[in-house]
A = this chain, B = another copy of it.
Amino acid sequence: MKLSILGCYSATPRTLNNTTSQVLEINNHMFLIDCGEGTQVQLRKHKIKFNRIKHIFISHLHGDHFFGLVGLVSTFRLLTRETDLHIYGPKGIKEIITLQMKLADSWTNYRLIFHELNSKNSELIFEDDKVEVYTIPLNHRVYTNGFLFKEKEGLRKLKIHAVEDANINVAYYRKLTQGFDVENEDGITIKNETVTKPAEKPKSYAFCSDTMYKEDIIPIIRDTDVLYHESTFLEQHAHLAVKTKHSTAKEAASIAKQANIETLILGHYSTRYGDIEEFKTEAKTVFENVKLAEDGKTFEF
């Protein structure tokens, strides 16, 4: 699982700070999460192949999280993309994009499929044989979702010498990886765990931005490996966090601790602060394993 931070600052893009956008590589998928202005240039800088992006998840309709979307959709068209593109985001996102395509008389030559969200409960919005994606309802000034990306339980691994020694027909190997006991060539039942090893632990990533401190999300994200949680403010500006429905670094850490997260990544910093290290310092008073998102940084898990 690999997470590339294209932008992690709040409010407005600046010469050296990009607004929110991330790429999550998980089980051969390349999910784009949020798409602030300039995301397409950031994707180029990261040398991410545009065609590998098939699913874009937009948390909410504040500009610093989606003003780059229409440009990306348009650039895909100019590059004669043929691959389907799925966009998940709040109700209204389809109207914004299609209105601009209509007025530019520039429709995509690829299939553009909108999945508009309006539920206040966590729901499964994407699933294939390896990955599931759920919404995480957040509490911000407008309708907002985080997203939970979960690998499914993988197949068990054969202990190859043990399988051979047990004289099992290869036709049964797949059943073994699925966890079943099987009969060997001599008619004897072979216990699955004697010839297989457990699958690797499935990985999971939760993206939570933008939101005020919201304990309701804890059951949804419990035991997730990696949590990105916004921390727009430091404690000294906790009153602004309340007023603008954002979180402080300490609040993000408290969510991580209560949800038994392994690694917390902070981001969505207000540009008022000179040194983002202070976010880490404050969060660490509550939760130990804190990392700081930075534009251009890549995390591997």
Contact = CB atoms under 8 A, between A and B. Distances in A.
Interface of A: 11-15, 37-38, 40-41, 44-45, 61-63, 67-68, 70-71, 74-75, 78-79, 90, 92, 95-96, 99-100, 103-106, 141-142
B67 A74 contact: yes
A141 B103 CA distance: 11
B142 A15 contact: no
A71 B75 CA distance: 18
A104 B37 contact: no
A105 B15 CA distance: 27
Contacts of A70: 63, 67
Contact of A142 (B12, B37, B44, B105): B105
A74 B68 contact: no
B103 A99 contact: no
B44 A15 contact: yes
A106 B14 contact: no
A139 to B, nearest CB: 14
Given A74-B67, A78-B12, A104 B44 contact: no
Given A92-B103, A103-B61, A41 B44 contact: no
A141 to B, nearest CB: 6
Contact of A41 (B38, B90, B103): B38
21 contacts: A11-B75, A11-B78, A12-B74, A13-B71, A14-B44, A15-B44, A15-B45, A37-B37, A37-B38, A37-B71, A61-B103, A61-B104, A63-B70, A63-B71, A63-B74, A67-B71, A92-B103, A95-B99, A99-B99, A103-B142, A104-B142
A45 to B, nearest CB: 6
A103 B78 CA distance: 27
A10 to B, nearest CB: 10
B14 A41 contact: yes
Contacts of A41: 13-15, 38
Contacts of A15: 41, 44-45
A217 to B, nearest CB: 22
Nearest 6 pairs of A and B residues by beta carbon? A92-B103, A12-B75, A63-B74, A37-B71, A61-B103, A67-B71
A96 to B, nearest CB: 6
A95 B103 CA distance: 10
